[in-house]
């Protein structure tokens, strides 16, 4: 029987996909002003990744200066992804996108390499060799020099402006004006100025800021955040009462000159990842020599300030007359805006109290129904009391919190950095002995360069250790406060009842729980943050002859930061 020709089909080799991410950074929120926007950097990085056969799985974007490291939320998220071993490469447009500080970049790049991840520049050919690392250090030193030089030029320019009594003219101009950078003065924009005059006129006529905001929304007037086509982070397309009040309180509209130097950026960031600013010492402020063209006269401005003060007193009195347990803690479950207390009367004269979404007063009703205050207070308070009496649920939250914050990972990273510091110090001791045993310049020069590099590495690792220690301290302090609060809740759950607890103590407790209530019709959802302060029970609880004197005290006021 003839044997047929055997045929074999080779299986195609399965090539594992190499996964990479792209990191882009611009120094300000108005991206693209310097020609290197996020999109520009991302395009170059994607092209380079395709050439090298990488699959881009995510893009991280930060709007921060290159001198900040730990304050950049997207970079922190990227580093966490690298530690988990999910990616093989990080692409950047240039090396200075990671950091303009040489010591900081040494730490980050070494961290990538320790986890098997490459650091690739789309525009600079840097090889992973001694020569490549030397070139990388040189480029990093140049970038750090550029930061220092730019900072020095900025400070010198500010000093010149201050000496000549000229404003800085940064950011957006006041609503109703535009900046003239050549003369460093303000110029009236009549299309906006007419509405500013109307706002002051309506306020003099007795309209509240909420009513004025709703009227402008009905008229279709563009608010300052979006009316000029400027992309503003978190900008709302609606007028709000807070925007109206800021206009009414601004003395610039009465002709006051611009004041510069009031704020400066800090290294801190908010919960949402935005850069924070802080007020400077008033001694550092300076006024512009040229006044602002007024939109209202001084008498009208003074009359508006007096009207705002009188309304404030009336509002405070009304708050004292009608106290509400959840005032300031309720938000609309539909649109996310605040819900404020509201009262109505029926024909028989009976008063009803409701929480009402502020969108109704703003002229952009979201459709949420009102929520009876008495019903909401009862539901929320009973839920809080039940929580305080449920020790198992609180202990579960403690364990969940510790797991979320990954203390074990932080401690491992801390030990790794301390180990590298010890290794670098041993290397320095060996280099010092070698330097003392030789006088040959050809040997001494590279040894001195290596010694400077090791010292820079130690400084960078120490900075990383300090950051980890600070984070660990915060996490453990919060966990301790949470555990202490759990013990207090066990005691508090026994003594809190409707007979001997006061309204003030209830408010203290709810604020301590960082309570947030989302309401829609008669549907509610509550969220609790970490306790910030354990409230003092002694002024809140009324004297009760039945309470045992030997009962444990709930006091202890432990304060922590998030």
Given a contact cutoff of 8 angstroms between Cβ atoms, the answer to whether 214 and 257 are in contact is no
b/e string for 135-165 if b means 16 or more Cβ within 10 A? bbbebbeebbeebeeeeeeeeeeeeebbeee
Instruction: Please tell me the distance from the alpha carbon of residue 515 to that of residue 383, in angstroms, as a whole number.
Output: 11
118: closest CA among 203, 30, 19? 19
296: DSSP letter: S
Please count the other Cβ atoms lying within 10 Å of the Cβ belonging to residue 352: 13
303: closest CA among 258, 259, 254? 254
Q: Collapse the DSSP code of 69 into the 3-class scheme (helix H, G, I; strand E, B; otherwise coil) and give the result.
A: coil
| 173-182 own/partner pairs: CB under 8 Å, 24+ apart | 174/250, 174/252, 174/253, 175/224, 175/227, 175/247, 176/253, 176/295, 177/252, 177/292, 177/293
Region at 406 (left for phi over 0; alpha for psi -120 to 50; beta for the rest):
left
| Catalytic one of 27, 99, 209, 359 | 27
Is 241 annotated as catalytic?
A: no
Furthest CA-CA distance within the chain: 117
| CA 414 remoteness from chain centre | 25
Q: Collapse the DSSP code of 148 into the 3-class scheme (helix H, G, I; strand E, B; otherwise coil) and give the result.
A: helix
Q: What would the two tokens of residue 408 be?
A: 């074990």
Given a contact cutoff of 8 angstroms between Cβ atoms, the answer to whether 420 and 457 are in contact is yes
3-state helix vs strand vs coil in the chain, percent to 5: 50, 15, 35
Please count the other Cβ atoms lying within 10 Å of the Cβ belonging to residue 90: 24
Instruction: Please tell me the distance from the alpha carbon of residue 166 to that of residue 153, in angstroms, as a whole number.
Output: 17
b/e string for 503-528 if b means 16 or more Cβ within 10 A? eebbbbbbebbebebbbbeeebebee
Q: Collapse the DSSP code of 180 into the 3-class scheme (helix H, G, I; strand E, B; otherwise coil) and give the result.
A: strand
468: DSSP letter: H
List the catalytic residues: 27
């Amino acid at each position: 029987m003839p044997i047929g020709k055997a045929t074999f089909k080779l299986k195609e080799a399965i090539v594992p996909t190499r996964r990479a991410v792209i990191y882009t950074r611009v120094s300000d929120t108005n991206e693209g002003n310097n020609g290197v926007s996020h999109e520009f950097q991302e395009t170059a990085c994607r092209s380079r990744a395709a050439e090298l056969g990488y699959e881009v799985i995510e893009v991280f974007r930060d709007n921060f200066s290159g001198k900040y490291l730990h304050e950049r939320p997207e970079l922190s998220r990227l580093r966490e992804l690298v530690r988990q071993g999910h990616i093989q490469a990080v692409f950047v447009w240039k090396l200075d996108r990671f950091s303009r500080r040489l010591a900081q970049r040494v730490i980050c790049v070494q961290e990538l390499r320790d986890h098997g991840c490459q650091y690739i520049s789309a525009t600079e050919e840097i090889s992973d060799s001694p020569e490549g690392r030397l070139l990388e250090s040189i480029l990093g030193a140049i970038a750090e020099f550029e930061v220092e030089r730019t900072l020095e030029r900025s400070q010198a320019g500010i000093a010149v402006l201050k000496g000549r009594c000229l404003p800085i003219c940064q950011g957006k101009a006041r609503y109703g004006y535009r900046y003239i950078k050549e003369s460093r003065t303000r110029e009236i924009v009549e299309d906006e100025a007419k509405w500013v005059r109307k706002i002051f006129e309506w306020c003099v006529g007795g309209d509240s800021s909420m009513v004025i905001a709703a009227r402008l929304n009905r008229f279709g007037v563009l608010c300052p955040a979006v009316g000029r086509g400027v992309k503003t982070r978190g900008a709302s397309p609606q007028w709000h009462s807070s925007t109206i009040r800021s206009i009414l309180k601004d003395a610039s509209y009465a002709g006051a000159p611009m004041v510069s130097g009031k704020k400066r950026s800090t290294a801190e960031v908010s919960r949402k990842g935005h850069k924070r600013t802080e007020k400077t010492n008033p001694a550092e402020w300076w006024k512009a020599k040229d006044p602002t063209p007024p939109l209202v006269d001084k008498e009208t401005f003074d009359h508006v300030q007096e009207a705002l003060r009188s309304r404030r007193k009336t509002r405070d009195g009304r708050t004292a007359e009608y106290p509400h347990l959840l005032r300031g803690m309720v938000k609309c479950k539909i649109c996310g805006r605040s819900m404020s207390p509201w009262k109505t009367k029926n024909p028989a004269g009976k008063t009803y109290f409701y929480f009402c979404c502020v969108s109704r007063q703003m002229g952009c009703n979201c459709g949420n129904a009102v929520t009876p205050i008495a019903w909401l207070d009862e539901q929320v308070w009973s839920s809080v009391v039940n929580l305080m009496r449920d020790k198992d649920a609180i202990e579960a939250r403690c364990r969940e919190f510790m797991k979320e914050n990954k203390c074990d990972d932080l401690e491992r990273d801390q030990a790794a950095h301390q180990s590298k510091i010890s290794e670098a110090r041993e290397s320095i001791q060996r280099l010092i002995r070698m330097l003392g045993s030789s006088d040959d310049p050809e040997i001494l020069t590279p040894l001195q360069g290596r010694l400077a590099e090791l010292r820079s590495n130690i400084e960078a690792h120490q900075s990383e250790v300090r950051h980890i220690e600070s984070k660990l301290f915060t996490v453990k302090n919060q966990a301790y406060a949470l555990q202490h609060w759990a013990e207090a809740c066990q005691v508090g759950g026994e003594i809190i009842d409707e007979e001997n607890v006061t309204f003030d103590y209830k408010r203290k407790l709810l604020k301590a729980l960082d309570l947030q209530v989302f309401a829609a019709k008669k549907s509610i959802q509550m969220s609790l943050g970490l306790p910030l302060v354990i409230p003092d029970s002694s002024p809140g609880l009324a004297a009760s002859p039945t309470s045992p004197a030997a009962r444990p005290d709930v006091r202890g006021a432990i304060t922590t930061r998030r």
